[in-house]
Amino acid sequence: MNVNDLTTFGWDEFFEADFKTYAGSGYTAGRVALEHKNLFRVYTQYGEVPAEISGKLRHEAVNRRDLPTVGDWVVIRSRPEGGRVMIHAVLPRRTSFVRKIAGSRTEEQIVGANIDRVFLLTALNQDFSLRRIERYLIVAWESGASPIVILSKSDLCDRVDDRLNEVQAVAPRVPVHAISVVTGRGLDDIAQYFKRGQTVALLGSSGVGKSTLINRLTGNDHLKVQTVREHDDRGRHTTTHRELILLPGGGLVLDTPGMRELQLWDGDQSLQLVFDDIEALAEKCFFGDCRHHDEPRCAVREAVGTGAVDSERYESYEKLQKELKYLARKRDKLSEIVEKKKWKKLSRLASQRARLKRR
């Protein structure tokens, strides 16, 4: 594997096209591997180097989306004195995995950029929840990456095939695999997803075995994993920051800290995709704008009544739909504010420049 070749890290014509405007002025490109308190590590053709954001980029950023995040391709320039390189710009993202930040504030967080596939990990113990898988699927589809459901710790479960079927039923058209790093089950099956230059992000609650799987794939114990098993099997948030790791056989994996909650940010269309069984039934309702509450000849309520659609799945669908509607309203308000902020900032920058010119 040639680590001086950026294609090893996923560089291709897509990013090349946007980089053209920078090429030739001493700029090169790199991919953000890690972010920690405003300090970054970036994969470059010269190796992995520490980096920081240029004052201009920080100054001109209106919101977080404008700043680099793990997985981003960035425009960098090394400084003559060596040491840290400067990040001057973020190249447009091909995909971005966005969630709403935890808590009540309406703010987005980009968990990872330029991800090709997301592994949604759920452990085959008390962690197992079909409802959580549905939620994860919406965020995954929305990111532009392809989701794959991974049921981890299959060695702890004696109904693995039942679980596989249950998950497949709520995740139509999504590959589902059961794995165990203890018995080795499924590890050969998932090898197909790790390809040179392709990025797989691992997401799931704390303690499901994300870091353990990556250590297994890299063949070392670079990543810290939870050592003492807790009696209640809940995670301890061992991983504290996101990190993009190059696999010895090619391919990149993004380790992420376990999430306490995955809040939706956007996803109307993905909701339709994840719940296409219910969406298809809704087309058969007598009224075109049926809310499936008390309207006559409602195909959805009928299906829930006969058990053709699981009632918990239907509740989950309604809940997620409400959540998305609420968010959309809040986001609309927010974008108004951001738009105003942007104009203020731009006009301030313009008058600053004009003043400088006059001097």
Ligand X SMILES: Nc1nc2c(ncn2[C@@H]2O[C@H](COP(=O)(O)OP(=O)(O)OP(=O)(O)O)[C@@H](O)[C@H]2O)c(=O)[nH]1
- Is the Cβ of residue 236 or residue 297 nearer to Mg ion in the bound state? 236
Other beta carbons within 10 Å of 312: 12
Question: 């680099």: which residue's tokens?
Answer: 68
Determine if 187 is a binding residue for ligand X (CB under 6 A). no
Residue 65 CB, shortest distance to ligand X, in Å, is: 25
Rounded to 10 degrees, the C-alpha dihedral 141/144/146/151 comes to -50
The DSSP letter of residue 356 is: H
- Is the Cβ of residue 102 or residue 308 nearer to ligand X in the bound state? 102
Question: Does residue 210 come out as left (phi exceeding 0), alpha (psi in the -120 to 50 range) or beta?
Answer: alpha
Determine if 54 is a binding residue for ligand X (CB under 6 A). no
Determine if 114 is a binding residue for ligand X (CB under 6 A). no
Determine if 190 is a binding residue for ligand X (CB under 6 A). no
What's phi and psi for 73, nearest 5 deg?
-90, 130
Residue 280 CB, shortest distance to Mg ion, in Å, is: 38
Nearest to 154 by CA among 131, 177, 129: 177
Contact of residue 155 among Zn ion, Mg ion, ligand X, none (CB under 5-8 Å per partner type)? ligand X
User: Which residues of the chain form contacts with Mg ion (CB under 5 A)?
Assistant: 210-211, 238-239
Name 113's Cβ contacts closer than 8 Å, sequence gap at least 6. 32, 69, 70, 71, 72, 93, 94, 95, 96, 97
Contact of residue 226 among Zn ion, ligand X, Mg ion, none (CB under 5-8 Å per partner type)? ligand X
By CB under 5 A, the count of residues binding Zn ion is 5
- Is the Cβ of residue 28 or residue 152 nearer to ligand X in the bound state? 152
Residue 255 CB, shortest distance to Mg ion, in Å, is: 6
Residue span 283-312 as binding mask against Zn ion, x where in contact by CB under 5 A, dash where not: --x----x-x-----x-x------------
Cα-Cα-Cα-Cα dihedral sign, residues 115, 117, 123, 129 = positive
213-242 residues near ligand X, rule: CB under 6 A: 225-226, 229, 235-239
Determine if 211 is a binding residue for ligand X (CB under 6 A). yes
Instruction: Show the CA angle centred on residue 306, arms to residues 304 and 310, nearest 5°.
Output: 40
Footprint on this chain of ligand X (rule: CB under 6 A): 152-153, 155-156, 180-182, 206-212, 225-226, 229, 235-239, 257-258
